[in-house]
Chains A and B, each alone.
Chain A
């Protein structure tokens, strides 16, 4: 059965710290891996990764995919309190368009 596992489940750090969130997957016929940020309501899209080793970057956030290790990391540098959220990882396979979701990492940034 396809599955996506995120770690840690939750993380509390201080403002200014750098954090690394992990996502590993077991999915047949992998197509892409997506990261979302969920604050209060709707998950908002961060990155989509399809190729191994190519870093995607947006401001202080960056992400990279390792197809050999079947995993991805999401880095946030110089964290701010506004980065506090649940970060969700989802994987899509080739055969359908469902997103298979991890349980999320709850990130809390303390001032």
Chain B
């Protein structure tokens, strides 16, 4: 009964070849997030959707885009992956309440760029 599902778990792509990572949730949460996590570093927020409202972090490269066609699905598109984009990509969801939110994470997709 996985709640946040990420596919694929491992993705290999070539330098400059577009790649799409997917995330789906069964929690009906209104917020979905994409994080990038490199080895021995904290997860870094790339962007998030609050319902249909897209919020891009100021330092997220233009190379990264996202789509959320409906409540359940969210995609991360990397238009031209570079070697520095190799990382674990984490999807998370939450439901915002008046007191705060708790994020639920998927297992991540490990991206390797050759």
Say if A and B assemble together.
no
